[in-house]
Structure 1
């Protein structure tokens, strides 16, 4: 048994239904995922694919095909079908065929997941960098299932305080959704919320493992710089003097750097890195950040709470959340964290069916490239949906190449 983040040896095994799949697959044994699903009944096929990305398959097709024997795949692949008795109506969404290009296999699995989930959690499984975002021949909305993610997935996050998804930016939008695939284009509906004004790429959010003191040294100056930059913009987080160190700005930054949850370090050591089961506790979050500020940055914000805060817990939470991410600000003064591929001018969208804000980049053909998921402080529980219903935002259709 190994945990997420490890590289396991490759075993050779056969699919359980040899009559359907006539060849051997070089895959990592999936028994650990079967055990986990018994304990966490909410894990679906998307969760299985996310988890299996930490393993190795010598044939790219097998990142999909080797998981089809799992009980969570029953909605995308019907085991009792045979090629002889399948009709167009009964055909499973995913049909093993190693003659297909891997990109097509990944796309077919992604389409099946969109149908199964009825929402846009799939988009949070995409991780782009400056190289992959420009590649042709692979739709930007299709996760590269053969590539390990380098950051934890927020859009699948489970808040164990309420046992519900941690975020829901498009709450109440089920009747407004449009989720359809036209060729390689994913058609979605939602609205443009904001635009990226600046990316703070100088923040050194490297992973320091179990040496938080090294992270502390690196972070103290960077967080102080971010606070100073926030003072120079018009921010919705405070109506106090923008030139002073205010509790509103400090609170927004502390919660943004931890995505509004704590206990991420426990999540990091769990088997399923994609689906964080963290705790929503604003008082603890603020106290932990205040302890860090008090000691490391020497700015006594929320000094009354600093005594009971856990500076190291804040550092460990931030280390997990910020891996392969950067801080950004928007034109309306919001603060968020997004993928490293994010850049000035990218659009922050609320897509109906998405759990978190989705960052898009407009193309010359008026369609979009998916940049990735994000956390934007102050809108993660559907706050913008009320403004949308009041007519403050216009509904739009988005085509993702």
Structure 2
């Protein structure tokens, strides 16, 4: 079928609308949200699902969910089955052999939104995945329900660093409050897997790598003797000059986030306000974005975290709904799908802030950022990071998207001796 929308649904015959309601009843079941279902489906040679008196092949449920996600997102949203449909697609993706094999970090991230009554199962429930098996045939860690969640978070972080030799782990850090960074007992660079998902990393894409801020540089890091401090090498690129309101939201999946701004119920207005903030800044003398079109490209890319599936035409189609239409919007909006921009931008901006750097760049980053926070490109990392200077080194605030430095520009400038590398001791 072609892309179906709400108008199509309203015009359906009664029997066809009833079929959709039955689908909604299936995909709205809490079974799809349970964490242990991942291995039940993924490890089965041939999975079947019992729904009332019916027995349905998992493949049929999975293929139908994929079709709905691609062709009928608006109807699924209207019938409140979008979360189940997305969870179904995630279940399939995690154990899929048709794409590249996911690593353990990606599995943890994708499964983070599923429910588990025991917090430690957020990690233990995915140990059945092939990515949890090291080259010597041993699991990356053994389940131990006697250890605390803090100990488990530390163990999985250290194991990933030592086994993978990668700093991608840092993108899984989700600090929600400044108090998280001010608590000296908490190690700022270790992700907390027991917390609800706040957002997905900017680099996480199931098809290809979409950012390479650090270009081809290898990760360079070392651990302190007590394994609480992580020293990383990179480049201090800029500082935060100002930032906007927190886009507060409960992130349920990569499809939809329930969002409001500063306590007010979400409306499309918050995206327009963010767009205007970026545009107004980019019109100033400090902006590095020279042309009017470049300004709007910066706004579009920033609000969607550089998602490759969103085009400028989609953004302009969204902006064309302003009370006072602009000729520029109409010129570039032809063929665009404003609803698609809204979907991606709503997801990417959830629990993040837009910000402006001293050099005139615009970005999207973690909630607890502060003015004069440091924007760094760390060697081996696909995205930049925000750091906060402290008495004993640096605290990791979180990853960020900065339009204009996501594709190796800072590294190329460093190789021209325009920047000097330095070490940052994270604690």
Q: Normalising to structure 2: TM-score of the pair?
A: 0.71
Bigger share in helix: 2
RMSD across aligned C-alpha pairs, in angstroms? Answer: 3.0
Superposed displacement of residue 46, structure 1 = 0.9
SS of the counterpart of 1:173?
A: coil
Change beyond 3 A, Cα 1:237–1:99? same
Greater relative CO (CA pairs within 8 A, separation 6+) = 1
How far the C-alpha of 1:95 sits from its partner, in A, is 4.2
CA distance in 2, matches of 1:237, 1:380: 15
**Residues 344, 32 of structure 1: CA spacing in aligned structure 2 closer, same or farther, 3 A cutoff?**
farther
Name the SS of the counterpart of 1:373 in structure 2.
strand
| SS at structure 1 position matched to 2:96 | helix
Deviation at 1:76, TM superposition (A): 8.3
Number of the residue aligned with 1:148:
196
Q: How does 1:63-74 map to 2 (within 5 A)?
A: 63-74=122-133
Which residue in 2 is equivalent to 1:38? 96
1:288 aligns with 2:325: no
Q: Aligned pairs, how many?
A: 338
Distance in 2 separating the partners of 1:201 and 1:252: 19
Deviation at 1:248, TM superposition (A): 1.8
* Counterpart among 381, 386, 390 of residue 359 in structure 1: 386
Task: Evaluate the alpha carbon distance shift between residue 363 and residue 204 of structure 1 in structure 2; reply closer, same or farther with a 3 A threshold.
Answer: closer
Q: CA 1:77–1:133 in 2, change beyond 3 Å: closer, same or farther? A: farther
Q: 2:396 aligns with which of 350, 370, 379?
A: 370
Partner of 2:221: 179
**Poorly superposed stretches of 4+, deviation over 6 Å:** 202-211
* 1:232 lines up with 2:284 in the alignment: yes
SS in 1 for 2:417: coil
1:60 maps to 119
Q: Which deviates further from its counterpart, 99-108 or 57-66?
A: 57-66
User: 1:109 — aligned with what?
Assistant: 156
Partner residue, 1:216: 268
Which of 198, 213, 225 matches 1:169?
Answer: 213
Q: Aligned residue for 1:256?
A: 302
TM-score (norm 1): 0.75
Residue 48 of structure 2: aligned partner:
none
**C-alpha separation in 2, matches of 1:222 and 1:237:** 17
The unaligned stretches of length 5 or more in structure 2 are 1-25, 44-91, 260-265
| CA–CA distance in structure 1, aligned partners of residues 120 and 185 of structure 2 | 16
